[in-house]
Amino acid sequence: MKLPRRQLLVDPPAASSSDIAFILIIFFLVCASVQPETGLAQTLPRTEEKKERKQQSKNLEVSITPSSIILNGSPLQLEEFRKRITTALQAKKRAEDKVVVVKSTATTHYDHWIRVSQAIARAGGTVTLELQSERTITVD
Amino acid sequence: MTASVPSFAMGDIGFLLLIFFVILARVQDDSHVQWDPAVLRDLEGAGSPLANVAIDSAYRTYLNGEELKNELLAPRLNAILGNAPVGQRNVFLKVHREAQAQHFEPVIQAIGEAGGDLVHILEPEPEQ
């Protein structure tokens, strides 16, 4: 009697392999696109044209040039600036006094500027920008 | 004997293609902007933005992928941010690392005027 034998080698169903490949593509695309971005949040005080002079005189002023950082008239490198700004801001008790006025030369690069901003933020300061504005004065 | 194309899978394929293009289509697509981020340590997750502002390697300013003059940035951002409460007005700022203060400071000022919560987008420094 001939016994019925099952076929041992069976071809896998090939009809769904394209669906599987497609789902894998979508899986990797979704994973690649949901990488969260990293950054540095910065609080911007509202810009005002007229400032109270008494208030302004209490705020620290930092000037950033392409090669150095000037705090209280002393040119510093980043590491020294971090220490000095931390010490200076620790002495300030009110939030208004912790506002640091930052002036940059026109050619200061962004990567240098952002490092200084981060140092000020870590020391507890709030960065506010002092921008140069153009005015037309008519002389008779 | 005839071989027919299995049509029952076409619906699935069409649906998957739809999901594929919906995921790829982003409203605030600024992937065409050419810029290199500055590198910094100890960064935080940036959350999700209401608007993306970028300054590319040619120092042009873009708002949500569209090139824009700096003078128009504050009113356009105001319109986008609307009445969103403080803390939910994230504006991502992507500045090319070589951009100079004359390029990015007016942009930062415009974001401040519009009342946006500024987030600088940076690259984390690789750990040594």
A37 to A56, A96, B44, B92: CA distances (angstroms): 36, 31, 9, 10
Residue range B61-89: mean pLDDT, rounded: 91
CB-CB neighbors (< 8 A) of B101 in chain A: 64, 104-108, 110, 113
- Has residue A20 got a pLDDT over 70? yes
Q: Please state, as a whole number, how many other Cβ atoms lie within 10 Å of the Cβ of residue A7.
A: 6
Test B101 with A108 for CB contact under 8 angstroms. yes
Between B80 and B44, where is the model more confident?
B80
Q: Which domains does chain A have, with CATH numbers?
A: 55-129 (3.30.420.270)
Mean pLDDT of B97-101: 93
B9/A110 Cβ within 8 A = no
Whether residue B127 is predicted with pLDDT greater than 80 in this model: the reply is no
Contact A42 B120 (CB under 8 A): yes
pLDDT of A2: 64
* Exposed / middle / buried, residue A101 (Cβ in 10 Å: 0-12, 13-18, 19+): middle
Residue pLDDT, tens place only, B62-73: 999 899 999 999
Chain B partners within 8 Å of A25 (Cβ): 20
Q: What is the pLDDT of residue A132?
A: 65
From chain A, the residues in CB contact with B92 under 8 A are 37, 39
Bridge partners for B55 per DSSP: B61, B95
How near does any CA of chain B get to the CA of A49, in Å? Answer: 12
What is the three-class DSSP state of B90? strand
Q: Is there a contact between A107 and B106 if contact means CB atoms under 8 Å apart?
A: no
| Interface residue of A22, A30, A40 to substitute, partner B, most B CBs within 10 Å | A40
| A19 chain-B contacts, CB cut-off 8 A | 9, 12-13, 16
- Mean of the pLDDT values across residues A91-108? 89
A137 falls in which pLDDT band (50, 70, 90)?
Answer: low
Whether pTM > 0.95 for this model: the answer is no
- The mean pLDDT of chain A is 79
Q: What is the ipTM of this complex?
A: 0.77
**Structure confidence at residue A7 as a pLDDT band (50, 70, 90):** low
